Structure 1
Amino acid sequence: MSRRHIMIDACLGGVVTLIVAVAIAANVGGSRGPDVGAYLFAVGLGLLMLVRRSHPSLALVATAVGLSGYYIADYPPIGLAVPVAAALYSAAEQGRTLPAISVGSVLLAASCFFRLRDGEQLNYLLGYELPWSVAVMAGAVALGDGVRSRQIRNAQQRRREQDLLEATRQEAARRIADERLQVARDLHDVLAHTTTVISLQADVAREALDDHDPAAAQAALAVIRTASGQATQELRATVALLRRPAEHTPRTPTGSLAHLDRLAAATGLPVTVRVHGEPVPLPTVVDVTAYRIVQEALTNAVRHAEATRVDVDVHHLPGRLDITVRDDGRGNTGGRGGGHGLTGMRERAELVGGTLTATSGDGFEVRARLPLREVP
Structure 2
Amino acid sequence: MPARTAHTYDHRMHVTPPLPLLKRVPPGAWVAVAWCASAVFTFLARLRLPGEEAPSEQVAAQFFRWDGLLILAIACALALVAGRQLSRRPLTALALLLTAAAFVTTNLAVGAIQSAQFLAVDLALYFIAASRPHRTGVVALGMSLAVLVAWLAVRLACGWGVGTLAGLTVALTAVVSWLLGDASRRTREYAETLRVRAAAQAVTDERLRIAREMHDMVAHSIGIVALQAGAAARVVHTRPDAAREAMTAVETAGRETLAGLRRMLVALREADRSRSPGTGPSSDEEESRLRPAEGLADLDRLAAVTTAAGVRVEVSRRGEPRPLPADIDLSAFRIVQESVTNVVRHAGTTACRVTVDHRDGEVVVDVTDDGRGQGSTTDTGFGLLGMRERVALLHGEFSAGPRPEGGFRVTARLPLPATAVAP
Q: TM-score, normalised by structure 1?
A: 0.47
Higher relative contact order (CA 8 A, sep 6+): 2
TM-score (norm 2): 0.42
